[in-house]
Amino acid sequence: MTEIQADNLTIAAALPADSDAPRKSAWRRFEPTILGTGTIVLLLLVWQFLPEFVPMKAGTKLFFTVPSHVAGTLWTMFATGSIWKPLGVSASAFAIGLVLAIVAGLPLGVLLGRSATLNAMVDPFITAFNATPRLVFLPLLMLWFGIGIWSKVAVVFLGALFPLLINTYEGVRNADKLLINVVRSFGAGEWDIARLVVVPNSLPFIIVGLRLAIGRAVLGVVVSEFFGSQDGLGVVMVRAASQFKVDVVFAGLIVFAALSLIMTGLVKLLEDRLTRWRPQHSNAG
């Protein structure tokens, strides 16, 4: 690595400065992108052509798939429309659970941030639930809600609730005491304080919580569909795995990853829109 850098330097010194400078800066600018995508492309190529170079037993071939095959399967799933029904089931469990978590988590977080007594009482439960993988409740939730959509919604809800709750709480605790006192001096009640100071101030924290919550929610959908469910994309994947259709499993993984990336991107857009008024140097969590 150091040798290459040294070579570049000598070349740079030898060439006329005006022709070299823009070329070099262009390479500098795109170096991260080129190297980053290069690694991914390289990995995919190695994976693609591995069967050509490495002889495999018939048994291993059964478990093996290549990227082009996965892409083809993904294309077929969308082209024939066979993906829409299971994806719809998974997406609705995801959406309902996430919305419920937001509806419950934000007010609760504000409440806990504003009341020290309530916070002290609820804290052990939050610590316990947040440290524990929510997956541990899955068999119990299946007993309670059956193997339809509602046990999935419950897992998603539990997964997404705590990041939202805790981040809202942190944001509320972080609110400027001075601003609260000013608003209070002007005769505002708790509701006005929450609306005017606390909630706007905690928005960056809530957004971070939302991003975490999306990851947890996707995880919740996938796992709950693996173990106790009748339909959904996770069910399709487990069935495919047990029939050695490895390409379908990877296609499902890609769809779930895309779902999570798209949702995170939307949150990013929301963040930019909601925090436009905020100065650049804000202490976003």
Binding site for other proteins (CB under 8 A): 1, 31-32, 35-40, 43, 63, 116-117, 120-125, 127-129, 131-133, 135-140, 142-144, 215, 218-219, 222-223, 226-227, 234, 237-238, 241-242, 244, 246, 249-250, 252-254, 256-257, 260-261, 264
Neighbour count for residue 120 (Cβ, 10 Å): 10
Specify the residue, 103 or 132, whose C-beta has the smaller distance to other proteins.
132
Q: Could you give the CA distance from residue 12 to residue 49 in angstroms, rounded to a whole number?
A: 38
Neighbour count for residue 141 (Cβ, 10 Å): 21
Specify the residue, 106 or 263, whose C-beta has the smaller distance to other proteins.
263
Specify the residue, 204 or 252, whose C-beta has the smaller distance to other proteins.
252
Phi, psi values for residue 16, rounded to 5°:
-65, 140
Specify the residue, 37 or 68, whose C-beta has the smaller distance to other proteins.
37
Q: Computed from CA positions of residues 245, 246, 252, 254, in that sequence, does the dihedral angle turn out positive or negative?
A: negative
What are the distances in angstroms from CA 16 to CA 3, 20, 21, 25?
Answer: 22, 6, 9, 15
**Residue 233 corresponds to which tokens in the numbers above?**
């994309």
Least separation in angstroms between CB 27 and other proteins: 12
Least separation in angstroms between CB 18 and other proteins: 27
Least separation in angstroms between CB 16 and other proteins: 27
Specify the residue, 129 or 150, whose C-beta has the smaller distance to other proteins.
129
Least separation in angstroms between CB 64 and other proteins: 10
Least separation in angstroms between CB 52 and other proteins: 21
Specify the residue, 59 or 81, whose C-beta has the smaller distance to other proteins.
59
Helices (H), the chain: 2-14, 17-53, 58-63, 67-80, 84-114, 116-131, 138-145, 149-173, 177-185, 190-193, 199-227, 233-242, 246-274
Neighbour count for residue 178 (Cβ, 10 Å): 9
